[in-house]
Amino acid sequence: MPGMQSAILSLILLTQSAVASGAAATPEYARAFQRGDYVRATTLAAERLKAQPADVQARIVLARAEAARGHFDAAYAGFRKALRLDPHSPDALYYLGVTAGVLAQIEHERLLAMAPGSVRAHELRGQSYEAQGRNAEAEAEFEAALEAGPPSVEVLVALGDLERARLSFAEARAHYSRAVELAPGHYDALYGVGVCDAYVGEHAEAAQFFRRALRVAKHSAPAHLALGISLLQTGKAAEAVTELEAAARLEPRMRQAFYQLGRAYQALGRPQEAATAFARVQKLLQQEREVNEAIMEKPDPR
Amino acid sequence: MRPALTLCLPLLLLAADGRRMPPTLVLPKASPADAPGVSFVEIARAAGLASFRRVSGSAVKDYILEAKGGGVALLDSDGDGWLDVYLVNGASLETLRGAGEAPPSALFRNDRNGTFGEVTEQAAVANRGWGQGACTGDYDNDGDEDLYVTNFGPNRLYRNDGRGRFSEEAGTARVALGGWSTGCAFGDYDGDGLLDLFVAGYIILDLERLPPAPSQAVVKPGNALPGTTPKTSEAVQAAYRPGMAYCEYRGHAAMCGPKGLKGAPDHLFRNQGDGTFKDVSVQAGVSDPNGYYGIGVAFVDFDDDGRLDLFVANDSCPNSLYRNRGDGTFQDVSLASGAAFNEAGQEQAHMGVAVGDYDRDGREDLHVTNFENDANVLYHNEGGGLFSETTYPAGVGNASIPFVGWGTNFLDYDNDGWLDLFVANGHVYPFVDEFDWNTSYEQRALLFRNLGGKFAEVGQGGGGGLAVVRSMRGSATGDFDNDGDIDVVVNPIDGEPLLLRNDGGHRAGRWLRVRLVGDPARRCPRDATGSVVFLTAGGVQQRGDVASGRSVMSQSDRRVHFGLGASTRVDRLEVRWANGPTLAYEVPAIDTELVIDQARGVLPAAARAVAIRR
């Protein structure tokens, strides 16, 4: 199973990687980890945790050492424990995500081994690859799923999503359209067609699909936003405001909604409301920038 | 030799390992949309420019400073009426830390026979810093082009003595700054007939506290890490991953930035008329308190009220558009104008900016280059201070997606009266070549032909020059051989420049080149920066602006070139002089250069040389 091996190898490499900094007061368990002596790192970190059960860093290093040894269930549990101690630990969050992806991959490999020709198995494996950002492999699995059996709406939508991420809108639209033919009430497919149309400037067409998507999921902030944009682009600013206000209500941190709302107010000759919306955009931008800078500034805890 | 290899690339659609060649390496087949009989030929070596090679830190590009590249300026340094080439050089971290001397930037004087000779030392414009960009303007109104060079470190203001020798005046003039400057442009924002100067700031980078470097990570580029590929165009460029000692791009260790790094402020310097400038950034309202990462800069009168406004392409942030209020201050209309984000309301990795009236509606439009897996964006000027994005309907979106775009220029390369579009491309991460990501580190340029307001990518019909691949950065356009068509010069990173000579453009359509000489006594800068030429031929009006800066940290030909297509005469030519009236002039002939002096009118041929040299 080269895919799984690759994933495990990657994780091991990853665990080795993040050791470059913070050497000044590095505890022995971390130094063992840095040397690649994962058995000793495990032992020492476990001893440390007996004495100091709330030591988040020791718990993270222990979990990473478990992962490096291929004990992904133990690693997963370890990162969860670390998160209970510090729910905002970026390290724990990051490695938990990676480990969860590897665990999912392992299960999907087992599933595919049990049913090698199964549409569902290919689909699941494709989803697993997609979750890990391995898009080429994901696409191959989804294509295999389509070949293995009758077309699946989920697979078509997944292929559409991959093409859309590449900004290949014609190809993406073809997949979404097939999905809509099979399932006229499928939100993701309807939304996907709309996005593809909007990107190439076919806003009237796009609006129709966004409306259909909203009939399926009336509380979708992205669909309200997208419909608002298309309405604005077709000169229907008043209708756009209704949709954009809905999007902003549903997602108060959705910067794009406030930006488009500002433009819609402008088009309607409501400069005060436009200025308020743009000020909100600036505030959200500022917050995002502060978060980005804080992450870069955060000292490496190891 | 690299050009010979690249000419073969269209034939080699598969790489040695069986992967499909990415579109960034393969020039599309010739198409009926290609202008017949017009091609670009790469002649840097034959023209004598290849002795220059830009240096930009390490090959692996551990830090964003090493990946930024530099600009190029086309200027008439000695006033002989022929364009010279100034290529901005970089440096290395070692030289910044005192180990050795940074390589010089280079000025190549036009020998008027298709070749150039280097005159850097004689002209005294070596710079020898980590150069970024260049722009020109006659800031002292003495009739010659002065040169401003931005750096990571103090900037230079090279004052021209009129004979092509320069003296460095940045300190005296109080425009040296320090830190990391990128794009620059001269423009008379306050209407006093003196050129002011705007300088964009990029990142506040402390050499003693550099961000994590990928080559120092145990995981080297090439070892896949799971779970980190950006899923949408929002996720561009490297992001810092918590708990890791480096940043990532598509799951691979990469240099950090710009996101997460502190942005540097922008600066507006008011020309005080005595050889000095005053920093008025804050009171003018253009100091960039948000710390956006500025790169491309353009003074442009986007609302045609006769006052120069200001556009700044900000990397990974909203663009800035400042409307000139006419009282010495600017109003930030970035968001309200629609030019800050793309149509979806997302910021992009904005790099360079081209300004031009591509649809001949009389208003200046904007084209902004962006990162890979995202489209360069075309903003159509709707009038009333509003822009709308027309990228995909106008035909410049899809082709640009695999490219990292830098320099960009509107140019009418086939003289048909419609502005075409050039984009210099090149990735910032050398390791992209190790993966099947539909892109490459070295990339070819993009040329779009304007077919009446909509664009089509020019393929092999545009000549072998378009097939050359480099990691390009700054680009500038101008008629270096004065043959009546627009050529292109590009300054790639870690390599020789490209000189793309336009062969056949002057035969494909009639043309007129206009050189303006302003009258400072009438509050127009001597070099007429900010003036606009409106030309009507065949019942169609075009416009062209006299401009400083633009593209990526580069300076194009300040003369205004018009393609006339099949028209054999100009019906009307008007000049809206900077800070002055709009006046009409007779055009005695076409397929030539017309010199118009604001004080004296159209100059006869004998007087032109004098005007040029004054």
A interface test, pick of B244, B337, B455 with most A CB neighbours within 10 Å: B244
DSSP H or E segment with residue B39: strand B39-42
pLDDT on residue B222:
31
Check residue B214 and give its pLDDT: 72
User: Is A116 exposed, middle or buried (CB count within 10 Å of its CB: 0-12, 13-18, 19+)?
Assistant: exposed
Give dist(CA B165, CA B501) in Å, integer.
27
Query: What pLDDT was estimated at residue B282?
Result: 98
Strand duo B510-517 + B592-597: pairing: parallel
Joined together, the tokens standing for residue A225 give 């936003």
Three-state secondary structure readout of B453-504: CCEEECCHHHCHHHHCEECCCEEEEECCCCCCCCEEEEECCCCCCEEEEEEC
Instruction: Compute CA distances B363 → A263, B300, B454, B545, whole Å.
Output: 21, 10, 16, 11
Residue B476 has pLDDT above 80, yes or no: yes
What pLDDT is recorded for position B242?
40
pLDDT at residue number B8: 35
Neighbouring C-beta atoms of residue B78, cutoff 10 Å = 23
% of chain B beyond a pLDDT of 90: 82
pLDDT tens for each residue of A168-184: 889 999 999 999 999 99
Span B447-475, pLDDT tens digits: 999 999 999 999 999 999 999 999 999 99
Instruction: Please give the average per-residue pLDDT across B350-361, as a whole number.
Output: 98
Which of A11, A17, A173 is the mutation pick for testing B, counting most B CBs within 10 A?
A: A17
Residue B19: what are its φ and ψ, rounded to 5°?
Answer: -70, 150
Question: How far does chain B reach from its first CA to its final CA, in angstroms?
Answer: 42
| Phi/psi of residue B211, nearest 5 degrees | -70, 165
A118-160 pLDDT, tens digit per residue, is 888 888 888 888 876 778 889 999 999 999 888 899 999 999 9
Check residue B578 and report its DSSP letter.
Answer: T
Q: Of B58-67, B154-163, B351-360, B486-495, give the lowest mean pLDDT range.
A: B58-67
Question: pLDDT band at residue A106, thresholds of 50, 70 and 90?
Answer: confident
All residues of chain A having their beta carbon less than 8 Å from the beta carbon of residue B395 are: none
ipTM of the complex: 0.81
Q: Sign of the CA dihedral A228, A234, A235, A238?
A: negative
Contacts of A91 in chain B (CB under 8 A): 242-243
pLDDT at B612: 55
- Please tell me the predicted confidence (pLDDT) of residue A37: 84
B605 HSE (CA, 13 A, CB side): 4
> How many CA atoms does the CB half-sphere of B164 hold within 13 Å?
24
Contacts of B245 in chain A (CB under 8 A): 17-21, 300
Q: What is the mean pLDDT of residues B510-522?
A: 98
In whole angstroms, give the CA distance from residue B372 to residue B427: 8
User: Does A20 reach chain B within 8 Å, measured CB to CB?
Assistant: yes
Q: How confident is the model at residue A288 (pLDDT cuts 50, 70, 90)?
A: confident
pLDDT for res A92: 84
CA A243/CA A262 separation, integer angstroms:
13
A261-265, B19-23, B271-275, B530-534: least confident range:
B19-23
Give the pLDDT of residue B610.
Answer: 56
Strand-pair partners of B366: B355, B379
Q: How far is B232 from chain A (nearest CA, A)?
A: 5
- Please compute the mean of the pLDDT values over residues B362-391 and round it to a whole number: 95
- Burial category of A272 from C-beta neighbours within 10 Å (exposed 0-12, middle 13-18, buried 19 and up): exposed
DSSP H/E element including A119? helix A119-131
pLDDT of residue B193: 98
Q: What is the mean pLDDT of residues A173-200?
A: 96
Distance CA(B577)–CA(A36), nearest Å, equals 71
Place of tokens 């402020």: B265
Which chain B residues are closer than 8 Å to A102 by Cβ?
A: 226
CB contact under 8 A, A133 and B259: no
Contacts A260 to B, Cβ<8 Å:
345
CA distances from B116 to B28, B111, B465 (A): 32, 5, 19
Reduced to 3 states, what is the DSSP secondary structure of residue B406? strand
Per-residue pLDDT at A116 = 78
What does residue A38 show for φ and ψ, rounded to 5 degrees?
Answer: -70, -30
Rounded to whole angstroms, the Cα distance separating B341 from B320 reads: 10
Whether the predicted pLDDT of A28 surpasses 70: yes
Rg (CA), chain B: 22
Per-residue pLDDT tens over the stretch B112-161: 999 999 999 999 999 999 999 999 999 999 999 999 999 999 999 999 99
- Cα B458 to Cα B254: distance, rounded to the nearest angstrom: 33
Instruction: Specify which residues B146 forms β-bridges with.
Output: B137
More confident residue, B16 or A9: B16
A256 touches chain B (CB under 8 A): yes
Query: What's the full length of chain A, in residues?
Result: 302
pLDDT computed for residue A259 by the predictor: 96
- Out of A10-19, A92-101, B98-107, the most confident range is B98-107
CA distance B330 to A19: 49
Q: Which pair of structure tokens corresponds to residue B522?
A: 């009438």
Can you tell me the distance from the alpha carbon of B473 to that of B470, in angstroms, rounded to the nearest whole number? 9
In this complex, do A263 and B393 lie within 8 Å of one another by their Cβ atoms? no
pLDDT of residue A165: 84
Region A28-39 average pLDDT: 83
What is the CA A68 to chain-centroid distance, rounded?
A: 24
Overall size of chain B counted in residues: 614
The strand pair at B386-389 and B239-240 is best described as unpaired
Q: Quote the radius of gyration of chain A (alpha carbons, Å).
A: 24
- Cα(B41)–Cα(A271) distance, integer angstroms: 52
Quote the CA–CA distance of B285 and B277 in Å, as a whole number: 17
Residue B609 pLDDT level (bands cut at 50, 70, 90) = low
Query: At residue B215, does pLDDT exceed 80?
Result: no
Q: Which of B73, B82, B72 is nearest to B515 (CA)?
A: B82
- Please give the structure tokens belonging to residue B83: 């364009």
| CA separation for the pair B334, A174 (Å, rounded) | 36
User: Considering only CB atoms, which chain A residues are within 8 Å of B383?
Assistant: none
With 0-12 / 13-18 / 19 or more C-beta atoms within 10 angstroms meaning exposed / middle / buried, residue A250 is: middle
Q: Which residue of B has its CA nearest to A35?
A: B218
Q: What is the mean pLDDT of residues A244-270?
A: 95
Name the pLDDT band for B216 (thresholds 50, 70, 90): low
Name the residue with higher pLDDT: B221 or A153: A153
Q: What residues have CB less than 8 Å from A212, skipping those under 6 apart?
A: A184, A190
- Long-range contacts, A234-243 (Cβ 8 Å, 24+): A234/A203, A234/A204, A234/A207, A237/A264, A237/A267, A237/A268, A238/A268, A240/A264, A241/A265, A241/A268
Report chain B's mean pLDDT, rounded to a whole number: 90
Task: Calculate how close chain B gets to A148, using CA atoms only, in Å.
Answer: 25
Assess contact for B494 and B572: CB atoms under 8 A: no
With a cut of 50, say whether residue A10 has pLDDT above it.
Answer: no
Q: Which two tokens stand for residue B164?
A: 């092509």
Q: Which residue in B has a C-alpha nearest to residue A161's C-alpha?
A: B231
Residue A8 is predicted with a pLDDT of 36
3-state DSSP assignment of residue B221: coil
Q: Is B131 exposed, middle or buried (0-12, 13-18, 19+ CB in 10 A)?
A: buried
pLDDT at B248: 76
Flag if A281 and B436 touch (Cβ within 8 Å): no
**What average pLDDT score do residues B10-35 get?**
74
Q: Give the pLDDT of residue B223.
A: 29
**How many angstroms separate the CA atoms of A81 and A183, rounded?**
42
Of A38, A37, A58, A57, whose CA–CA distance to A46 is shortest?
A58
**Per-residue pLDDT tens over the stretch B540-571:** 999 999 999 999 999 999 999 999 999 999 99
Contact B74, B136 (CB under 8 A): no
Q: Give A236-248 pLDDT, tens digit per residue.
A: 999 999 999 999 9
The pLDDT assigned to B17 comes to 53
Which amino acid belongs to residue A104?
A
Q: pLDDT confidence of B326, banded at 50, 70, 90?
A: very high
Q: Check the CA dihedral B391-B395-B398-B403 and report its sign.
A: negative
Determine the pLDDT at residue B415. Answer: 98
Q: Is the dihedral of CA A135, A140, A143, A145 positive or negative?
A: negative
Give the closest residue to B515 by CA, choosing from B446, B605, B452: B605
Q: Is the pLDDT of residue A300 over 60?
A: no
A195: nearest CA in chain B? B344
Give the integer Cα–Cα distance in Å for A169 and A161.
10
Q: Rounded mean pLDDT of A244-260? A: 95
Q: What is the pLDDT of residues B61-75, one digit of tens each?
A: 999 999 999 999 999
Q: Is the pLDDT of residue B227 over 50?
A: no
